[in-house]
Amino acid sequence: MGKPYELVEFPNGAWANKTLQTDYKMFKVPLSSNFIKKEVAKIADGIYTINGLFASYIPVIETKNGVIIYDSGTSPEIGREILKMLETVTEKPVIAVIYSHSHYIFGSSAIKEKYPNAQFIANPRLASNLASGQGAGSVFPEIGPLLNSGLVQQFHMMLPREGKDAPFGGFISFPDFSGFVRPTTEVTEGQVLNIDGVDLQFFTNFNVDSDDQLLVWIPSKKIVLNNAFWGFMPNMYSLRGSNFRDPENITQALFKIRDLGTEIMLSTHGTPIVGKQAVKETVETYADFYNFVKDQTLRAMLLGRAPQDLGKFLKLPQHFRDAEYLCETYGPLETFAEPIYHHGRGWFDNDAANIFKLTREDEARNLIKAMGGPDRVVQLSDQAIKEGDQMWALKLINYLYVTEPTNQTYRTKKAQLLYQLGMVLESQNARSWCITQAYALTNKLALPRLVLPDEIVNNMNPTTLLTQYKVRIDPEKAGTTNYLLAFAVGDGKKVGLHCRFGVVEFIDDVEKYGQAPNATLTMSQTSLVDLFMNRKPVGQILSEQGNAVKGDRKEVENFLSYFDEIFSPQVNQAIPVVKK
């Protein structure tokens, strides 16, 4: 913002910065472009990629009696499309599906339906990650729904598919988890499997955008299947939130591809690279980019730069800018350094004035007062716009919004600035965040803070549900409570929640616990999910057929009232809904 720009129309009607057409070769990469040709591309004899169905390539390896595919798409519908396209080049059956990681594996049910004997091969961590709701890639499973909301905002999921506000780049729909097929084979680091006469070696220790990656080496064909090379500037930090993406671990994956002597590199998000020297040069440059960002961040820290200064400290050398597979069309470069700082040192910036913090609202109120009041802040914001400093204008308006988030004047001004910023950004992720929130601020959509699909929560067992539920305790409501509630769900063992003075311990087996429960709640799995998702009042859930309380029912209701109802419509709002 503040730089001259020109908006142009993209094939789907989206308006975006002209530099995306003139400076980048973005149309080669599915995650950067909606406009990849739908085709089965032949890479070599018996080697193909299925392109143009969604935001990823599907590598295909033909064997003597079948085919092996790497990933299965984002839904059963995509899985069926993969099979249709595959049939245009071979009549052989799918004998194995390899899961690259936990993001693009939800077309598998369609494949299993047609080929029930197919193997499904995965990293051992993948199934448990999905079961705990960690498909979003969270250190703490409890905040998976928060990251899912970020996923919705990051990929234009609530915005039009066509027209000026549509994504200029790859659209990712929310995964249809019903299409997941549990792995039939879980492999370990370095393990070799022979599938229809072809040896495949698996590497499980490289974490890119999740910790359940599977890099595959096929020595007889000198082929690597991977999710480490993306074909555009890698998202070293995801605005939606995720595990720390360790540059050193990822560069090890890239160097492994090089050191294996790879001659064909097939990637989930990158154009196939053919030729040993081409692969070597590509992965080295890509690894050098990771190391540049990491090393320059550490250099900035040693020079005393604060976390908020790091994004502007990074000055990318021209040879990186010239690399067509390092176009900044996905995540914004200046967001990559700060997570490295926090991972290495923590949040504190070494300035004693920042040891103790004001709340965001208190800081905003004090600054507004210091600047002369709300009207003066609006004037200063308008002046910043005239001077071409839209980022400062947005910051000023945001102080007002923080203090009065339902004030429609402030909401509209913030929305206008976010929208203008989003329209000129080269990063499609940041664009989506800005425009989605602009829509919510102007009441064009309701934006939830938390998103948890039924396909996930309905398959979470009582242990997973209750270990995640317990963090919602309000210690002020709980006070001096010392109370153990046992849960008997289905035919499983009794589990429990023991609240002691505002802290809750999950009890894995109440029968073996050294304290008798104050009450036991017998309920169905469906009722436990309803409680977890705050779908019904607690009293109604307790009264449903088949549910029973052994003990004082009012005490149980009172105890459960201590837990925040985070999924209730009144609470679950990322931006407050203003009724017209």
Whole-angstrom distance, CA of residue 393 vs CA of residue 385: 6
Task: Spell out a b/e string for 500-530, using b for 16 or more CB atoms within 10 Å of the CB, else e.
Answer: eeeebeebeebeebeeebbbbbbbebebbbb
Per-residue model confidence as pLDDT tens digits over 447-458: 999 999 998 899
- Dump pLDDT digits (tens) for 31-78: 666 667 899 999 999 999 999 998 899 999 999 999 999 999 999 999
Nearest alpha carbon to residue 201 among 133, 149, 147, 257 = 257
Burial class (CB in 10 A: 0-12, 13-18, 19+), 90: middle
271-322 tens-digit pLDDT: 999 999 999 999 999 999 999 999 999 999 999 999 999 999 999 999 999 8
Answer yes or no: pTM beyond 0.75.
Answer: yes
pLDDT of residue 208: 93
Percent of the chain with pLDDT over 70: 96
pLDDT at 29: 64
Tokens of 426: 């080269």
Task: For the chain, give the mean pLDDT.
Answer: 94
Of residues 284, 279, 225, the one with CA closest to residue 255: 284
452 SS3 class: coil
Q: Which pLDDT score, from 0 to 100, does residue 170 have? A: 66
Can you read off the two tokens belonging to residue 146? Answer: 């928060």
% the chain with pLDDT above 90: 85
Q: Contact, 207 vs 137, CB < 8 A?
A: no
For the purposes of burial, counting CB atoms within 10 Å of the CB of 392, is it exposed (0-12), middle (13-18) or buried (19 or more)?
middle
Distances (CA, A) of 434 to 18, 395, 437: 18, 14, 5
What pLDDT does 7 receive?
93
Helix or strand holding residue 466 (H, E): helix 462-469
Torsion of CA 112, 110, 125, 214, to 10 degrees: 90
Q: What is the pLDDT of residue 42?
A: 98
| pLDDT at site 108 | 98
Q: What domains can you pick out in the chain, each with its CATH number?
A: 7-326 (3.60.15.30), 360-441 (1.25.40.880), 460-560 (3.30.1050.10)
**Which residues of the chain are under the pLDDT cut of 50?**
none
